[in-house]
Amino acid sequence: MPDFDTLIVGADVVDGSGAAPSRCDIGIVGDRIAYLGCSVEARAARTVQAAGMLATPGLIDPHSHSDWSVLGNRYAFSTIHQGVTTEVVGNCGVTYAPLGAADVESACSALRALGYDGPVDWRSFGELVDTVHSGGTAQNLVWFVGHTAIRSAARSNAETGRCDEARERIRLLEEALEAGAIGLSSGLEYGAGRFADAEELAALTGVVGRRGGLYASHIRNRDTALGAAVDEFFHVVHRGGGVRAQLSHLNVRYDTGAGRGAWEQAAQRVINERQRGTDVLADMTPYPHGIGMAVGLLPGWLAVRPPAEAAGLLADTDVRARVRQDCDRYWRFVHRGQWDRVRLGVSPTHPQWEGLTFPEIAERHGRDEWDCLFDILAAAGADLGAVQLLGRLFTDDHLADAISHDHFLLGVDAFSTRREGPLHARTRDPLFYYGHTHYLSHHVRTGTLSLELAVHKMTGMVADHFGIRDRGYLRVGHHADVVLFDPEMLRQADTWSMPDEYSRAARHVWVNGVPVVSDGQHTRRLPGHMLR
């Protein structure tokens, strides 16, 4: 019998701790790393010659939305090909469970737009994760349950079942935690989450805190009132009994009215809170652009209405005129007329415009940019929340400051996609295909981070904060989530342009000891787990 299932020989190992690379061999038995060293004489069922290659732990995305696309992309093509073996999903309050009766139709439509054409026959969070994991996934998934989903389902259940809405929120959260959610996420700039006050959130985080879970939040404001939004976040964390916390994508969009030094003060607040004993980190994204929810642009008096009703009102010219005057929120640069910074990302009803800037859409449609947006949203009907935008959001200097910050993890804030079908049509941006390797190529090459620090902020540091046991490091006894990168391919990668293929730098990827990428080719194996 061979001593190892796989023996990786002669790699330069970046072990996830932040230490400098060292050359050694890696032996894998079953789903675990069984050997790290330089002088073993052993037999292996498979030997991979790795001289000149970089071996790292599987990358862990601390802020992913791949729960939106996993049912249409179980093979996780775009992220696995970048070396991502674990994704923390269910962020920004938006999960497709729990589902109230009023939300089933919109969930069906949104998931169809993301490549899933199967039944939406789950209602509880546990039923959703069973549906996902019973069919297999290429990557490991760590799940939050979304506050927006809980809030909407509780309201729907209260209307039909005559239960108390606040108690129903607690019940749905506890049910999700029992089913394996690591905690609660919130999205307070859009959707139902924007109408929740701090006391509602604190009641829920108290439940999470008593179970040792986490609270992650897309906070209420990241421009003119950033300081107040950060204050609210920590108020909720402390009212929740000091729940472990993640301040999602703590950044400031340029030219949106943020005060001088506002971001620096917010980042310092994270440092101060950690010094007081609060277990909190933040995260950042790799590019100057990112995803946004179109409904975030709508004023509260319209967004508070059910999606189909709000969409119907947007067909009215008087309502449109009022919205134009009352939309200075979320992506505030739109209110200032900077539509060239915005592309249409996902539209279930207007896929022919996806990927175009709004000035380009306006030229084709023969109407101005606001009316183009209103036409897209009005046509969406109950699927209003499925309309996504891509925006040019951050300056290069701001990116570098956040990415290099000691207390910021490195995420992408996107979802795994594939190069065919509905998902490919809706992900025409390098963010989805190169976001993770962009840290290891562009940001390392330009000196924002050293390679070993970048890997640490994408592996071990994430595992430690989220309590992901026995992953994030290349250590004997840890799960064998391992990546072999070709450093020359990393250096040569053009991660700014839309790719015509998957990222090629991760030549070999093992998930739980199983090869999922071999010599640059996906093996179509699904060894991922739900990590509870």
Q: What tens digit of pLDDT does each residue of 319-362 get?
A: 999 999 998 889 999 999 999 999 999 898 999 999 899 999 99
Tokens of 97: 């469970």
Q: Which CATH number goes with the domain that contains 21?
A: 2.30.40.10
Asked whether residue 493 carries a pLDDT value surpassing 80, the answer given is no
**Is 174 in the same domain as 74?**
yes
| Beta strand pairing call for 514-518 and 506-511 | antiparallel
Query: 406-465, pLDDT tens digit by residue?
Result: 999 999 999 999 999 989 888 888 999 999 999 999 999 999 999 999 999 999 999 999
Q: Which residue has the higher pLDDT, 385 or 267?
A: 267
**Is 127 in the same domain as 163?**
yes
From residue 125, give the alpha-carbon distance in Å to each of 141, 204, 314.
Answer: 14, 16, 32
User: Which residues pair with residue 28 across a beta bridge?
Assistant: 6, 33
Confidence (pLDDT) at 473: 98
Q: What angle do CA 63, 75, 439 make, to 5 degrees?
A: 40
Residue 532 belongs to some domain of the structure: no
Q: Give the total number of structural domains in the chain.
A: 3
Tokens of 183: 């905690």
**Is 73 in the same domain as 159?**
yes
Determine the residue type at 379.
Answer: A
What are the φ and ψ backbone dihedral angles of 398, each rounded to 5 degrees?
-65, -40
**Is 397 in the same domain as 381?**
no
Kindly report whether the peptide bond that precedes residue 98 is cis, defined as omega within 30 degrees of 0. Answer: yes
Q: Which of 392, 420, 455 is the last residue of a domain?
A: 392
Residue 168 belongs to some domain of the structure: yes
From residue 268, give the alpha-carbon distance in Å to each of 265, 273, 379.
Answer: 5, 9, 44
**Is 273 in the same domain as 341?**
no
Sheet containing 84-89: give its strands across: 59-61, 84-89, 140-146, 183-187, 214-218, 244-247, 280-284, 408-410
**Is 265 in the same domain as 181?**
yes
**Is 243 in the same domain as 372?**
no
Over residues 496-517, mean pLDDT: 92
Are the C-beta atoms of residues 396 and 443 closer than 8 Å to each other?
Answer: no
Query: 116-148, pLDDT tens digit by residue?
Result: 999 999 999 999 999 999 999 999 999 999 999
Helices (H), 92-221: 104-113, 125-134, 147-161, 165-178, 198-210
From residue 55, give the alpha-carbon distance in Å to each of 409, 486, 487, 526.
Answer: 20, 9, 10, 21
Confidence of residue 262 (pLDDT cuts 50, 70, 90): very high
Q: What is the DSSP letter of 299?
A: -
Range of the domain at 385: 292-392
Are the C-beta atoms of residues 376 and 353 closer than 8 Å to each other?
Answer: yes
**Is 284 in the same domain as 307?**
no
Over residues 194-207, mean pLDDT: 96
Residue 530 belongs to some domain of the structure: no
Confidence (pLDDT) at 495: 75
Q: Which CATH number goes with the domain that contains 270?
A: 3.20.20.140
The C-alpha torsion from 512 through 515 and 519 to 522, rounded to 10°, is -100
Confidence (pLDDT) at 516: 98
Residues 6+ positions from 472 with CB-CB distance below 8 Å:
16, 57, 60, 459, 460, 461, 462, 463, 464, 478
**Is 91 in the same domain as 150?**
yes
Confidence (pLDDT) at 192: 87
| pTM given for the model | 0.94
Residue 527 belongs to some domain of the structure: no
Q: What is the DSSP letter of 383?
A: G
Confidence (pLDDT) at 1: 58
Query: 13-44, pLDDT tens digit by residue?
Result: 999 999 999 999 999 999 999 999 987 788 99
Confidence (pLDDT) at 413: 96
**Average pLDDT taken over every residue of the chain:** 95
Residue showing tokens 């039909």: 160
Q: Which of 374, 392, 410 is the last residue of a domain?
A: 392
**Is 25 in the same domain as 101?**
no
